[in-house]
Amino acid sequence: EAQVTQNPRYLITVTGKKLTVTCSQNMNHEYMSWYRQDPGLGLRQIYYSMNVEVTDKGDVPEGYKVSRKEKRNFPLILESPSPNQTSLYFCASSLRQGMNTEAFFGQGTRLTVV
Amino acid sequence: GQNIDQPTEMTATEGAIVQINCTYQTSGFNGLFWYQQHAGEAPTFLSYNVLDGLEEKGRFSSFLSRSKGYSYLLLKELQMKDSASYLCAARGDYKLSFGAGTTVTVRA
């Protein structure tokens, strides 16, 4: 089954404790991205990747890191989480940018930083 | 930069029609998407427009006017299961940017 898989689905952590949210897709998609979703603000892009070893900042990259060592995986790293990073996070992938290709979303990770 | 506006909430009766408007300002524009998102779930793709005009897909239709930076999503024969948030998203400059979403409530 074609899908985007995020883990964990729920996470409660403390300020400053490094964490990684994993994202994996099995559709051989080139383009992957991370979004955070907050009430009243919608989905805001954190980082995106056009292909392996090619990443770039989205609209709200501060406090986050990403890597794209393999085509299927695009982990999101919070080196020192803070309470303002409490949010619902979505990973998404699409075949490539610049074409009529829809984005497929993972099921989301609800992160709480206390 | 990207700027996308859509109404916050709409309410309609089962069986009725609802139109959700979206205006956008997007550099390097190359497509307008609509997604549906039920509470606590991931967004799912509904429609895509890149040329001016209407795209029809069953009970859902989407319209685009590139010159006006305007799109709408039309939901016909509303059903209770259509109660959800509808997200307008514009693609440009290698990014897909989303509006805040319109929460549609369908009442019996």
pLDDT of residue A101: 77
Q: What is the DSSP letter of A80?
A: S
Tell me which of A30, A51, A56, A105 to substitute to probe the interface with B (most B C-beta atoms closer than 10 Å).
A105
Q: Which of A36, A111, A25, A107 is nearest to A74 (CA)?
A: A25
Would you call A103 and B45 a contact, using CB atoms and an 8 Å cutoff?
A: yes
Residue in A56, A58, A90 nearest the CB of B42: A90
**A63-93: pLDDT as tens digits:** 999 999 999 999 999 999 999 999 999 999 9
pLDDT of residue A95: 86
CA distances from A10 to A90, A109, A111, B1 (A): 12, 5, 6, 32
Distance CA A45, CA A66 (A): 13
Å from B86 to nearest chain A CA?
11
Distance CA B74, CA B87 (A): 13
What chain B residue is nearest to A107 in terms of C-alpha separation?
B42
Distance CA A6, CA A24 (A): 7
pLDDT of residue B53: 96
Q: A15 pLDDT band (50/70/90 cuts)? A: very high
Whether B69 has its CB under 8 Å from any CB of chain A: the answer is no
User: Rounded to 5 degrees, what are φ and ψ at B105?
Assistant: -110, 125
Residue A31's Cβ-count burial label (10 Å; 0-12, 13-18, 19+) is buried
